[in-house]
């Protein structure tokens, strides 16, 4: 994008010459560009991550193998042990009979418990547990700081032997596009001829 500036050149002529204006565009060489800055408050977001500890409820599924000992199992084992003990003829036989009776009585009592619903018969159970968890949470805040912001550029350029200055909203680069308006000035005095430098 190029910005066009207007430079007025004076054409010197006789007072009786008619005043006709002519306009055209041309290019001028840029001598220097100086940025014009102002301190302006600017808002920016400042963010960081924090670790937050908490709890959450989770469903936990467990296998139920039906190994819970119910009251029928206990009573059956005791009763079986007593009966087994009665059938032994010696001390070793009584001990073996007690053990065998306890096992058989416990199995029978366990089956009774299963039929009565006192123990589980296998399958899955679902429980809700409250477990500790750690999460990363993003936190942000608005921070205001002062910055040097360019609000324009003072452009010094040269055209037709004259040095001119204009403030522009951008840096034009090495050349600047200008509009030239040429017209005579009737009330300007005519230039006086100068004698040659070698004459005294």
Pairing state of beta strands 22-64 and 5-11?
unpaired
The whole-number pLDDT of residue 131 equals: 84
Number of CB atoms found within 10 A of residue 178's CB: 20
Structure tokens at 5: 């500036």
The whole-number pLDDT of residue 105 equals: 66
Structure tokens at 123: 């399958």
Question: Cα-flanking dihedrals φ and ψ of residue 137, to 5°?
Answer: -115, 130
Q: How far, in Å, CA of 42 to CA of 147, rounded?
A: 7
158, 175 Cβ separation under 8 angstroms: no
What pTM did the predictor assign?
A: 0.38
Given a cut of 70, the residues of the chain with pLDDT beneath it are 1-20, 63-74, 76-77, 79-102, 104-106, 108-110, 112-113, 115-124, 188-190, 197-200
**Of 66, 67, 72, 81, the residue nearest 108 (C-alpha):** 72
The whole-number pLDDT of residue 3 equals: 47
Residues paired with 33 in a beta bridge? 155
Domain boundaries in the chain?
67-121
The whole-number pLDDT of residue 192 equals: 73
């Amino acid at each position: 994008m190029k910005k066009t500036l207007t430079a007025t050149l004076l054409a010197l002529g006789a007072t009786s010459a008619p005043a006709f204006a002519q306009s055209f565009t041309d290019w001028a060489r840029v001598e220097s560009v100086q940025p014009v800055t102002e301190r302006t408050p600017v808002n920016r977001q400042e963010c960081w991550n924090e670790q937050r500890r908490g709890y959450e409820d989770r469903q936990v599924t467990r296998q139920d193998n039906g190994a819970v000992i119910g009251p029928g199992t206990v009573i059956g084992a005791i009763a079986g042990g007593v009966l087994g003990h009665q059938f032994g003829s010696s001390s070793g036989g009584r001990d073996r009979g007690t053990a065998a009776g306890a096992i058989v009585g416990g199995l029978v009592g366990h089956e009774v418990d299963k039929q009565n619903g006192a123990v589980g018969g296998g399958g899955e159970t679902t429980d809700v547990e409250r477990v500790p968890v750690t999460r990363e949470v993003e936190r942000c805040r608005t921070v205001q700081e002062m910055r040097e912001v360019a609000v324009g550029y003072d452009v010094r350029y040269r055209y037709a032997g004259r040095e001119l200055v204009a403030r522009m909203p951008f840096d034009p680069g090495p050349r600047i596009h200008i509009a030239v308006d040429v017209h005579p000035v009737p009330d300007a005095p005519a230039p006086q001829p100068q004698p040659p430098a070698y004459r005294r």
